A and B are shown apart, each in its own frame.
Chain A
Amino acid sequence: MSNLDHGKFTRVTTLFHSLLGLDVFLLFFTGYAIMFNDELWWMLTLMGGASGVTAIHRITGIGLVALVVFWITLQIISPTGRSNFSKILPSKGDVDAFIQDIQFVLGRADERHPSARQFAGYKADEVPLLSYIGKGVVFIFSIELTLLAISGLLIWSKTGLAAMFQTKAAAMAFVTFHGLLGVIMLMGVMFHIFEHGMHPAFYPVETKAFIPRSMVPEHHGDDDEEPDTTGIERLSLSPSWRTVSTVFGAMTVIGIVSVLIGSIFDEGYPVPRELAIGGGPSSILLTIGINLGMVVLGVGLVLSMYGNVLRIRWEQQLEAEREPSTAADGGEPQTDGGQPKSDDNEN
């Protein structure tokens, strides 16, 4: 019996995740149109040049502050938030999961560690709320978003910053700090998109973050029977998976490497007075690579929207099935509340 490890999020979390994703993507597109302005000149131009881009960046930045503060407050004041906190603390199981993941890749383990499973042959309760990667994402993204919001606000009020640190160079150091910190997050988000988009069982997007747990019917058929396997052998691979995952994986790697190299070069105050194509130490390869990285982000944006479409579709199907007059037609396996969900692989 297979069981999908989705529906771990609450409705508030899924909505928050989508809003945060949208906001952060806009911040990335504008922020890196500024930082990598010689490689992403077209993006800078499309968004109205330096002034247009910085305006959008600030509006979305304020949105980020609202979202971050909302989330921190919610985690503190609600019992759910406080109880979830203990579940995201790193544990020995996470180290074991990392080691077993490597062994799995090398063929020395048959399965991924339960703490690393996104597709698991266990009841939802038996699989941890978050994998070790998920915990890392929560911690790293939380710290980075907070630091980015603070440094961003300091940069915004740069006369205040200059007064605080006495020199213009100090103010510029904050800009550099802000941009380089963002690069770490940019690379992490590319990985995040790859990880949740290219899992063969969930391709093209894992719905965990879009379909809230309250909407996921759980299997009650044979509770006594413990699953022997993950059940993945029952799933059919999507015909396009091998090609798409290979192309997208390559794009992810190229994108990460390129923004990493680009960030090493672009260390100064990144906004020139005049738009200068090739004004920095750019090269054709770096330009292509950084643009590929932006395509990876674009795919992430599309997948995020697609995840929301799937939720709406799921809601409609659930509603239809709950109409007493509607006979269960067995048409869509996802809505088979009482059926094993071994076939939910597509989503």
Chain B
Amino acid sequence: MQVPVMADMAAQEKKPEYLFWVGCAGSYDARYQRVSRAFVKILNHVGVDYAVLGPEETCNGDPAKRAGNEFLFQMQAIQNIETMNMYEVKKIITACPHCFNTLKNEYPALGGNYEVIHHSTFLQELIDAGKVNLKGGGSFKGKKITFHDSCYLGRANGIYEAPRKVLEALDADLAEMKRCRTKGLCCGAGGAQMFKEAENGKKEINVERAEEALETGAKIIAAGCPFCMTMMTDGVKHFEKEEEVQVLDLAEMVAEDLE
């Protein structure tokens, strides 16, 4: 797979328009690696001028900050800002709402000012601009799909419509959950919960959410966040529905239908 890397581009004195920030999940999580590859497939297909940091990328610091380790967060942030400023990065696209939120909202206070775009917005813009044409009808046509709002995309940054527009473009039958948009229910993994066991309670949050998603009767649960992806997949498994119900990222769905 052809993925341009910033260091190589710099060696050729090229400054790509976009940095694709892959994120830790997109780099290491076997499931989300597939999303990174799907997104790259789209970028390559459309001919977007981009590159990734590759080995030079490191955790943006979101889980550290939210767990309370502001020190570690700022160490990470300053390191990343130095790298990105060295390559004179102006625009960043990322498929992770946690990276998106941190780079967009929390890096400016530490000297990192970039235009940061979540891949759902980017995909919507490509579709609107007619740059992504989907195969006649598409494999998702008329399929019942429900979209799980990621807190860090939705409530944290007010992005509710872009992912839904992408699903509309796929001609899918969008079914909303009872708790959606501003009222969306967390998958349970934000605030660094992804990296520890949940506190004692009577239920797991992702089970509650998966139950709600399954109630819509959707065959596909669409997500736009690696944490949500993991949590919803586990939730679906909890109900032993993994044979019937898929959890897919928006980029995977678009990539599958590329003309």
A and B associate in one complex: no
B positions within 8 Å CB-CB of A: none
